[in-house]
Structures are given as structure tokens and as C-alpha cells.
Structure 1
Amino acid sequence: MRNWDFWRSIEVPLDAQIVTIVGPNGSGKTTLLDALRTLLSLRCSGRRDYKRYVRNSTEPVAWLRGVVDNPRRKGGGLFPNPFFPLTNEKVTLFCRIKKQGGDWIRQYAVVDGEVELGPASEDQLKWLGVNEYKLILEQAGLTRAIAEVLALEQGDTDKLCEYGPKPLLDLVFQVFGDKQVLDNYQQAKSEQREAERELGELTRQLDGLAARVEQMRSRAQRYQDWRSLETEVERIERHVLPALRYLDACDSRDGYVNQYKGVRRELDARQTELESIDAELRQLQARADAAKANETHLDQQYKALFGPFQQAGSEAKSAEKLLEQRNKLKALAERESGTDAVELAEQIALLRSQQTELQARIKTAKQEREHLAEQQSALQGGSQPSEPFVRQMRAALDEAGIPHQMLTELVEVVDTDWQAAVEALLAPYRHIILLNRESDRQAAFQIGQRLRYRHFIVPEREPVPSATPGSILEILDFKGDAPAWLVRQLANVQRIKSVEAGARQAGDWITPEGYHKERRGARHIGIETRDHAFGEAARRSRVEAISRQLRDLNQQILDWEGTSLELGRQIASQQMQLAGMDAIQQLAARQDEFDAAEKMLPELRVEAQRLGGEIATLQAAKDEARKETDATKELLHRAQHEQTQLLKQVKELMTQVESRQAEQTRQIAEVERLRDELETSGMDFSTLAGLREEWGSEKNALHEIHRQRERIEHGDWERDASVLELREKMQQDFNGLERETQNRGREVERARELTDEARSAYINKLRATIRAYALNIKRLGELAGIAVEVDPPHLDNDDGVLGQAGLVVRFDFDQKGMMGLNDGEASGGQQVMKSLILLIGLMMDETNPSGFVFIDEPFAHLDVLNIDKVGAFLKATQAQYLITTPLTHNVNAFAPSELTLCTYKKRPGERWAPVISQARRRTAALARADQ
């Protein structure tokens, strides 16, 4: 070794059966073994490689040189020597490692004889690459399996015993396999695979050609289908479609004629109804005018009689009051004179206080009467009175020039039986203001914010659609556009007669009395009649309620005024008494007044009763006249609503009549034109019935044309007629390739038979190899005193069986029973013995009974007894061993060694490490000579 790691130039002998390399840790034992591994082109131990060692020397070139035996094999043969054609008994191996292109590369040389390293020899060497050099060493006996064994890590000499049955059998086949048999088998197998590959290729070509033939058939079929579709579409367009168009035109013409007749009949019926409703409207209008005139006449009579009635009643009450005063004066005259003036003054003050309070009530009642009279007048005029905050808001909108309407002004209840239900639903919305222009929204919202108007101002309005049958919306008549959300709400509420009927109704509903069911539940939402605000019925009910209030209020005012007058008289009387006039003087002074009152009182009472009776009669007649007026107005309103609907229907029907008449004329002309075209084309009209039965209508034919055109346009069609010729040509090519594939298939079958025969020969040789290896390891076991059993694998002419076959080896140490390779029962020394037996057995054959092995620290985990056993075994075998051991080992580790090499650590400050010292064991012959 030159420039190897920290050795400048080292030469060591290895000509002993067992060579022990000893030294402290880090002194170069593994370095020496890695030099041998590098010389034999093996991988170094651990993570090291040869580059590490040459970099440490800092020299540009490093050398390794080894001299090995090249004995002649027994029997000679084609390769009589391991390194044939080199026939010298010694062969020199060279390894040169030098830096080239920034990296370290290695080159090898094999030289016949023992050649020293020098400048002359370097020039004469024929340098080899790594792979070529490995082939030479493998031919000489360093197989890949042995190379793997030689490259075991430090302390891993027992790794071979950790092999499983299958890996161990594979290793044995690699070392002992007969090359000729293997080559014959591999050649036969290769030929078979090649033949099968070629057959597979032909088959794939055949399959591909078959696919192309099928594709060409498909293309030809698509061409034929395309031609069929084109022909069919042409037939439909030229013959079927015109005939169906004519038939459909005839049907459409007949249908429009029937429709025209039906619309004409409907128009006549609606015009008759309109004439009838017009006559009814005239009668109802005359009846309403008469009822209104009668009501006005009775109201005038009532007002004319009400004044005298009030005056008669007032005079009668005045006479009664005078007589009551006379009676009180008589009572006072009968009392003793001398009444206390202070007490009388207090009574006058109390009476004045009562009179003042009563006059305030009368004033308030008169103001309320005026307000009710205004409401009554407004209601009788057709408008609805509103709350003060509503009037304030509407006045502000009018001042700002914003046209608007109240919701109450738009809604009319057609069916008064559901008035209470409608009022209940719309009660929260009676004060909604609807803007006529949506553009006024911002200004209206600002006014509503300023006045704090708490009800909705709605700018968005839409025409009211047709109502859902049975809904509240169905009985309402909107006089203009309304909020869409309110219309939807009313359309979703169904009318039901009772709560029991509501059990069968899904969704929202309401009864006539106002019991309402919605998503949250059911409740009564009805309101008082006097609070009704929507429609004519609400107006009438409010007029009646105000009339009753006015009647009661007038009576109350009369009573309060009479009481006030009496209080005034009492005050005057007591003031006179307080001034000094006694009761007797008053009686005397007012005797004529009292007598006249007593005389006139019966007449006044009779007159008041007579006038009261007439007033009551006029009031009843007036109420009946008002009811008649209201009923007539309701009938008139319904008739007007019906007239409006009929006018709308008549207008629509007249438009339909005109359009259908024009369309009917056009279709008659179209039918004549289509018939002329069919006659010109030579159409047989007797076939029209069959075409109608087949196709149904022109629409179906057009749909079929469109469908076929879509298929033609978007389908994958062939439009070239040459595909038919290509199909025939490709079919002929396919038939020829099919015949060739069948011929090659017979050849492949023949190759398979030859492969089976080669495999049979290979299996027989494998069995012989396993028997030879079993004898080797049993012989080695006898040398070590270990019983070895081998279970030969089951080998058969089948790839699966061969792939799963494994070699089972068992060992018996000290007659304690058989154990397997790596079953955990063996000690460290026994593991080493197993590995050594398996290892040496691989190297034993008739031509090479020994072998060459170097092992890194085989005694690392052994006790003294096992060290002796392993050493005795090594000496008993014929192989050559290079063994490393640290200085700390037991001295027994050197017992089997014939040559000991001692390595040393590099001293600090020195560039190169000390040379390796040698100690050779003295043989028995040399010992006797010394004696």
C-alpha cells in the first residue's frame, strides 16, 4: 500500500491460514481490510469509501498491490487456472487511484507472475475498468455472493445466520450453480420469452389491426348510416313536410273558424247581458234618485217640525218650572220669617257654580254635535272623515304638491257579508298613504319624518291581478293600483264559513266574524262597527252610528238647557229674597204669571206630545228612507261594477273577433296556396291520411328533421365513399396477419417445450447443488462438533414453486436440541459458528476446497470459552482468514493465529503512521530445530 490513508508505503505478508490484525481503536485495522476490499473492487465498511483514504494522504496517486495464488485446478478443463489465460502460479493485482478532473478514480490491472511496483511496470500494465476487473475476479472465484460476504460490517460476522430460507437458498444457487446448465436454461428461457414477446407483439398487432378493421367497418357503417339519414331527411323535406304542412293548415283553418264562431257567440251573449245591465242601471238610478229625494223631503219636514217641538217642550218645561217656583214660594211663606242671609248667599253661590258647570257641559256637547254633524255631512257626501294627524299629514303633502290617496279611498267591498272580515284584516292599514308618483318618495318621506307620521307612506304601486278563487281579494274592488305586498297578503287569506270548516283548509283563513288563522296561530281580530272605514257599507254604518249619537246628544243638550234655566230662576228668586222681598210678596207680585202658567201647561203638554209623536214618525220614516237610499246605492254600485266588467269583456271579445277574422282569412288563403303547390308537385291526395297517421303533424316532421340534422351535424359520420374499399383491403391484411400469428404460435409452443426440458435439467442440477452444500456444512459441523441438519426444499417444474422454495438449516450445539438460523435461542458464539459454517460451506467445492475470508472482529461479543471454540473451528477448516481484534480482547483470540499484524496510531505532529509490525507463530518443525 502506498499513500493509503496515513501509511506512506506498507508491505504486509498474508501467507498464513489465519492472520490476526490487532491494534487499538483507530489504529488502522479496518483501514487495512478496506484496502483489501478496494483491491478486490468491493465496497468499504460502513459509510467509508476508497476516496476517504486517498484524500487523507494528500498525495495525487495511491497504489494497492496484492499477490494471489493461481493454482492449476484438478482435472484442468476449459479454465485450468482461476485467472486463465494467466497460468503462472502467482498473479499480481494492481489498483491505482488518482485524481482526475477534480475527482478520484480507480483503475485495475491483472499481471501474470509476481511483479513489483515501479515506474517501468506502471507503463507496461494494461489498465482495466471496474466492471471488467470484477468479471475477471468473478471468473477466478470471487463471486458476487462471496463478495457480499467479504464486505460484512465490523462485528457482523453472524449476519449470514440471519438469512431466511429463501435468501440462503438463492445464495447457495449463486455460488454452486453449474454455469453451463444455468446458461442453457437462461438461454432457453430467454428464447422462450423472446418468442413469447414476438408472439405477443404479433398478437398486439393483430389486435390492433382487428381494432382498425372494426374501426373501418364502423366508418363504413357510419357512411352508410349517413347516406340513409340524408336520404330520409330529403324525403321528409320534399314529400312529407309539404303534405303535413297542408294538413296542419287545414286543421288550423278549421280550428280558427270554430274559434271565431265561439268568440262571436260569446260576444253576442255578453252584449245581450250588457244591454240588460244598462236597463237595470237606469232603473236603479231612477230608484236611487227617488229614494234620495224622499229622504231629502223627510229631512226637511223633520227639520221644520223640530224647531216648534223644541219650543213647545221648552215652554212646557218653563211653565212647569214656574209652578214649581210657586209651590216653593208657598212653602217659604208658610215657614217662619227671618231666614239667615249668610245661608241664603251660600245657596246662591252653589247654584251659580252648578249652572256654570252645566253650561260648560252644554258648550262641549254642542261642539261635539257640530263635529258629528260635519262627519255626517262628509259621509253623506261620499267621503270618509279622518283623524287629525291624518288631516295634518295630507295637508302637508298637498302643500308640497305631492298627489296621493288613502287606502280607504281605493277599496270597495263587493260582498257586504264579509265586511267585518275585511275591516279586521285592513284595520292596521287604514291610515296608509299611497303616492301617485313614485318619484315623490324622498320628499314624502321627509315630511313623514318631520310630522312623525307613524303609518306607511307607500310609493310603489302595481295593478291588482286576478284574485285567487275563495280569497279575501276576490270580494274587493280596487279603484286604482295598490301595494303588491298588500295584494299578496289578501290573496293568501281564504274565506271560510266557520272554524270547523277551517280544519280542512291549509294556509291562512278568516271567518265572516273576523276569527283569523295564520302561521303563528289563530285569534279574533274583529273591530266595532263604528270603526269600519272601507267601502260603502262602512260609510252607511258610520252614518247610522253618528245619527244615533246626534239624537242622543240633542236630547242631552235639551235636558241640560232646561236644568240650566231652572237654576237661573232659582238664583233670581233667592237673590230677590236676599234683597228683602219675602215669599208672600213674590206670590202676590207673580200671581198672574203663575195663573197663566197653570192655565197654559196642559195645552203646552198636549202640543209637545203631539209634536213629539210627529217627530218620531218622521224620524222612523227618515231612517227607512235612508236605508232605502243606501240599499239602492249598493245595488247600483254592484250593477256598475258588473257593467264595468262586462264592458271590459266585450272590448276584449271584439278585439278577439277582429283578430280571429283576419287570421281566418289569412289561413284560408294559405290553405289554397299549399293545395296548389301539392297539385303542382303531383302529390297523391289519397296518401295524406296515411302520412297523418304516421307523422301526426308538421311539428313532428320538423322535429324529426331537426333531430336528424343535429345527428348529421354533430355526429361522427363518414362522408367519403372510399371507406368501403379501404374496409375490404384492411380485412385482407387482417386475414394474412392472423395466419402468420397462428404459425408463430406453434413456434412459441415448441420453444415452451424446450424451456420445460431445460428447466427439468436445471432442477436436477439444483437438487445436486443443494446436496453438495448440505454435505459441506455437515462436514464443517463435524469439525466444530456441531450437528447440522438440512431440509432440502421442494423443487418442481413450476415458477411459483421455485420462487417460494427456501433452504432450512438447523444446528445442534452440545446436544441441546436443534435450533434454526435466527430463532433467538442461540448465543453470540453460536451465532458466529453458524455464520462461519454457512460461509465456509459456500467456498468448498472440489476445485477450491478452502477459500479466502477476512472478518472484522469476529470475537467482539464472545466469552473466553466461545473464543476458543471459534478459534478451534477456524483452524480445523482449510480456508484462509484475516481477522481483526482490538487489544482489549482476551489473549485466547490469538491462539489460532499463525501470523499476527499489529497496527499503531499516528503520533501527534507526524504526517505518516508507523509501519505495521509482524509476529509469525513458530511451527513445530522450527521448534525442534532450535532445540
Structure 2
Amino acid sequence: MFQIRELEMIHWDFWRAVRVPLDAQIVTIVGPNGSGKTTLLDALRTLLALKCSGRRDYKRYVRNNRENYAWLRGVASNPRRSGGGLFPYLFFPLTCDEVTLFCRIKKQGGDWVRQYAIAEGNVTLTAETEAQLAWIGVNEYRRRLEQAGLTPAIAEVLALEQGDTDKLCEYSPKALLDLVFQVFGDKEVLDHYAETKLRLKEAEGELGKMEQQLAALGVDVERLKLRANNHLEWRALQDDVEQLEAQVVPALRYVEQWESLRGYINQFKGSRRALKQKQDELDAIDVEYRQAETVQREALTHEDAARREYDAAFKAFQDARDVARDSEKTLKEAERLRQLAELEHGADAVALNDRLARHKEAAAELKQAIRMAKEERQRLAEAQFALQQGRPPHPDFVARMRAALDEAGIAHQLLTEIVEVRDNSWQDAVEALLAPYRHIILLERSADRQRAWEIGQELKYRHFIVPEREPVARANANSILEIVDFKADAPAWLAGLLNRTQRARSVADGQKLDGDWITRDGFHKERRGARDISAKPGDYAFGEAARHSRLAEVSRRLRELNEQLLADESRLGDLERDISMLTQSLMGMQAVVQLAARQDEFAAVAERWPDEERRAQEAGAALAAAHAAWEQMRNTREEGRIAFERLKDGRARLDAQVGMLLDQSARQREEQSRLIRALREAKGALPGALSAAAELRALKERYGGSREVLHMIEHERSRLGAGDWETDATVVARRDKLAADYAALERDTRLHRSEVMRTGLLADEARAAYINKLKATVRAYGRNVKRLGELAGIEVELELPQLDNDDLTLAQAGLSARFNFDQKGMMGLNDGEASGGQQVMKSLILLIGLMMDESNPTGFVFIDEPFAHLDIFNIDRVGAFLKATQAQYLITTPLTHNTNVYGPSELTLTTRKKQPGQTWAPLIAQTRRRTRAAEPA
């Protein structure tokens, strides 16, 4: 190995620029504690890319001077190798005797970085030098130094801590053997073998895991095979279901659609025939309707003619009656005058006055009755006209309410307008049951309810205003609803009332019925009990029979009123004449005078009175005949109107049926067209193989119909739903992949097993062969320490370890050394019998023995304070031992030691502490030993 000749430091720790020579075998670095001895050695370590002592590093030293750079420069020897070879010089291709080592430390990016360079010859440090050098990194620089002999093991020795160089004797035999193997490069090989063994064990473990994985994978393969078979069965069922759904069901539905279309066409034809029949019936009834309409118009014309004849006869009767009445009045006046003349002389004035008052009171009451009868006759005449026109009259409060609703634009109907009784024998019962509801108002639109109710509130309408209407449900047998027709939708509760009320022929018959019932004459039984609720015929309001009944009642009442008016008016005339006569009597008029004065008038009236009376009687007979003819014509017209209304209703029903059939026919035609289009689309959607009629027939024969296929699909789906199926479609691919993985893993396992076996065999054979190299290393180290012992005058024996190709033996092997000082007997490494100086000698022998190399005996060693705790004799002994070796030693020692420590030193470097207030530390003092010139032989 090379040796250090010179060291130059710039900005290293507190030294600004220091150059010290190291061209001596033994260099002693002396100085007080903290003066920089270890700092100097750490500079050499940093120059050689070694670790600094303790916990220090190079950054600590370059930070102290507060400069942005630092330099280390060293001059080293470059001897020629004794064996030559490919690298004849230590720093080949550099061939000079000396080389210069450079370390440049700079601050970059807030951190310190170092670079190295090697120059040929002794090169000084200048600005030009820095530019000309080839700078390399730390790893490359260490590789170059290792090539020059500074192996990693020697680097570990050079980096020993302060005070550790004299403690090698305290190592255990195993630790000492490890150190020897590490220095001579065998430790790395052993580590490689150990790592190989470890890797081999790991490989065996991996092989075991692979075998376990192979077994588990085999189980997984079998499990996936079962799952894959299950999936394939499930997929077959799914495909079968999909085929049935996608092909068979559409095909069968196409067949069913075709059959349905044929049936629909036949149904359409039947509907067309029914439509033709109804149209023929409508045409026939339309002819009857036109004829009835003509007859009705003629009957109305005849009725009008009869009424006019009646009016003419009535006028003639009135004229004849008035003439006869006037004559009758005159005759009665003559009779009255004669009676007055007879009573005139004996009449009592008080009695006549009372009689006059009674006649006046009776005349006033009779006039009031006549006035009320005429008003009633007027109302009845208007009601008769309305009933004749088919418009039944309504009470005033109903008329006001309907007018308000019409004004508000609210469409509505009365309940009486939509109810028709089919069986007139039950008219009394229907009228009795519906009497409380005759004035109910039904709204056409339920959205009008709020406004209609507000109007009802304003007018205080006491009957229901119903917005909810719905079609009437089917009637129960023997119910009132069964004999009632509704022309429009009705309240559900009303239809329910009629539907739950049964018809009873008598009370005894009603006892046999459950629930509500009513008799023909209106005796009603409900949940609260039974009572008579019959209605008067004049109060009928529902249906055509009610209108006829009311019309007959109005006509009868009119006749009664006319007869009563004639009688009342006659009585009123008599009363008025009596009142006039009594008044005249009380006024003192002479009845005899008046009778004599009007004798001629009275005679003439008496003469024509029989003829006038006869003409009045004839006019009355003619009036009666005209009234009978008019009544007959009116009855005939009314009967014709009823037949006409029935024809009209029948025509309307047939027309509605024809319209419904036409709509139905249109819908059927559209539905037929839709079915044809759907059939074409269904046929177009069928697969080509199923579009042929033979295939469709085969499917029909095989499956029957789509319903059976749907049952099959449902069965298959229930089977799919109930079974434990594998639905993952990737299971087949996973099975195949897992089988392939199993085969590949099986091949890899066989290959790995053979490789493990072969690797183990090769590793055992190689390490068995390398054991000889280990034994040679131990023997070489033994020779080194023995020769060093001879130089020091110490007998050294080494107990060579037992090195076999066995892990346990190698792990427990150790190197034991025994030393004999001054023929006092052998002692071990650290048995407590040696003195301090002997301990130092042991450690130095063991240490320097590590540095000896027969091929390259040179080299250098850093020894930090080797003379600590030694007496003078041992200091001299150690110094003599150091001088006897061929290595270069850099020794540190404090100032407190004996001066004998300088005995072996050829060059002494003295360090001094930095003074307070000074920026830089003092320069290192140099003392070189003077040597005598060699005397001539």
C-alpha cells in the first residue's frame, strides 16, 4: 500500500492554510488536548474518503471557518508492485513515484459537497490546477484507492476510534477472527456464502410455499371445475330460457296474433252486420218518426182549429149570455121594484141598513175569492201550457237558482230531468221515495262546485247541489232502480238508495224481505222503522207519467175554477143588485114611481126574454160541444205526442246505438289495421328460420301456445332462482387460466426444486473449497503476528480455529492468541494477567499483523495515543517495535507524556490551541530528527 508524504489543508477547521510534511516512518503529532491532533487525523481520513472519528464528519470542520470552500491536498507514494501484472503501479495508469490527492469541498444549495481528484507527480494547488484536474465522485475515488491497496477492511482499521487501537486484545476470539477475515477480504466472501445459504433457505421456503400453493391451487382448480360445470349448466338453462323468450315466444305470439286477427276480422264482420241491422231499424223508425211528426203537426193544427171554434163559441155564448143576463137583470129589477113598492110603506130603515152592510161584506169577500181564483187560473193556464210543451213548471226559488247558475255559466240539470219511470204502476212509490230530492241540482262539471255553492249560499237554496256524478250501477233484482231509467250520470248515493230499496206488493209481502222496501202506495220501511210517505198525484215530478198526471190535475182544476168563477160572478151580481136596491130604499126613492116610469121597458124585456134565454141556451150547448171537440182534439194530440216522444226516444237510442256502433266499427277498423301492422312487424322480427309456415306449425304442435311456453320459462326461471348457481361468466376463463397457472406452477416448482437442489450442492462444494482459503488466511495472519512478536521479543502462539463446511462450526469459530512476555509464561488475550504496556503490545501486534502484506509490505497506520498509561520502559519497548516494522505510523500523544515518546519519532508535529479573539489557529510546528551520515565501511 502507499504512504503519505505531505498534507496541505486550506480552511480546514480553524486552520487557514497549513502544509505539513509526513515523509517519515514514524510521525508524532503532539499537543495539548483540543489543539487539533484528531482534527489533523480526520483531515487525512477525509482526504482518503474515510469516516471521521467519533460522531464527527467533514462538514463539521468546514463549517467552523465560515468560508464557502475548503481544500485538502496530500502527496502519496506510488511504488511499483513486486508482482507487476496488469496494474504494475498502485495508482496505475499514473507511473510517477509520487501522486497528489485532492479533496475539494464546496457549499452548494445550502449543503456541503466534496469532490476528489488524483494528479500525477507532486502538484501544487493553484487556480490553474483546479481547472486542469479531472474531478471524480466519492465512490469512484474509493475504488481508485482500493486499487492502490486501501481496501475497505484497512479503511475500517484506519477509522478506529481514539483509544481503540490498544483494545484489540480485549476482543473475543470470534470477534478477532471476524476482524481478520474482514481485513483480508474473506469476511465478505463468508457473508456472501451466508447470504447464499440464507437465499437458499429462502428458496427452500419459497419451494415449500410453491408446493403448498400448488396443492391449494389444485384444490382451487377442482373447485373451479365444479363451479364452471355449474355455470355451464346454468348458462345452458339461461340460453334455453333466452331462446324460448327471444324466438319461440315471439313466433307463437305471431301465430296467436294471426289467429286473433282472424277472430277479430270475424268479430268486425259481425259488428258490421249488427251496425247494418241497427241502421235499417233506424231508417224504419225514422220513417215512422217522420210520419208521427207529420201526424203531430196535423193534430196540433186540428187542435188549434178546435180551440178557435171553442173561442168563437165561447164569444157567442158570452154575447148571448150577456144579452140574456141584461134582460134577466131588467126583469129582476122590475121584480125588485114591485117588491119595494109592496114593502115601501112598512119597511124598517134599521133592518134595511144592517142587511145592506151584510150584503156589502159578502160582496167584498166574494170579489176577493174571484180575484184569487183568477190568479190561480192564470198560473194554472201557464202551467198547463208548459206541461203541454213538455216543460214542467218549477217553484220560484228553483227558477231563481237556475237563472243564477245560467248567468254564471254553470251547466247543470235537475234530478227530475234525468229520471224516467218505466213501470207506471210503481209511479206512486218512486214519487214518494224521491220526493225529498226533486229539487236537487246536478252539476255537469265538478270544478264548478265552489261557485255553485257560493250562489246557493247567497240565495239560501235549501236543496242539495251535487258535483259528484258517476254512471249508474247495474240494478239489483226487485229493486226500485230496476224500474227507473237515468238519462245521465247520477249521484252514487241516490242510485244506491234506489238499488237497496226493494218492491213489496203489500206490507205482508215486505215482511218476507230483508232490508229496505216500499209498497206501490208509498208505505216505506227502512232501518229506523216504517211509515207512509205517499205523494199526491198533483205533486208528481218524475217521468212522463208525472207530467200527464199533473197536466190532468191542472185541467181538472181549471174546470173547477171556471165553474166556481161562473157561480161566484152570478152570486156577486145578485148581491150587487140587492145592495143597489137596499141603497135606493134607504135613500127614500119611490119604487112605484120608478115602476110606472119603466113599465114599457119592462114589458119589452119580458117579451124578448124567452128568445134571448133560448139563444143563450143554444150558445151554451154549442160551447159545450166545441169544448168537447177541443178536449178530444187535445187528448188525441197528447196521445200522438206521447207516441211521438216514444218514437223520438227510440230513434235517439237507435241513433246513439248506431253512433256507438260506428265508433266501435272505426275503433275496430283501426285496431284491425294496428293488428295487421303489428303482425307484419312481428313477422319481420322473427328469425329467418322461424318465418316459414312449416316451422311455425311445428312450434305450435311442439309447444302448444305462448302461455305454455311462458309456464315453461317460469318453471325454468324458478329452477334458476331456487338453485345454487354459478352466475359469474368469467368462471370458465378463470378455470382455464387457473388450470394453465397450475400447469405452469407445477413446471416452475419442478424447475425450482431442481435449481434449489443444484444450488445447495454447488454452494456446499464451493464453500468447502473456500475453507482452505480461510485456513490459509489464518495461517498467514499467524505468521504475521509471530514475526511481529519476534521483532518485539515476545513469543506469540495462535490456536487455529476448526474451520469445517458447517454453518454452526463457522458461526462458533474463533481465533485465540497467547503471548509470552519475558519468559513468564503464556497468557491469553484478555485474561487480566498482563500489564498496561503488555496490553498495548498485544493490541499493536494484532493490529499491525492485519496491515502486513507480503506482496506489498508498505503502508501507513493511524495510532491515536498508543503510549497512554505506559511506563518509560514500555514506551521504549513499543517505540522500538514500531521502528522495527516497515509501515508508516502517524501517532498522537499529549504533552503530559514522558519525553521517551519522541524516541522512535523521526518527525514531530506540534499543534497549538486557537487563542481567544483570534480567527485562525496557530500554524503547526515541525521538528525533524537529525540523522548521522553513514560512516564509510
What TM-score results when the alignment is normalised by the length of structure 1? 0.48
TM-score by length of 2: 0.48
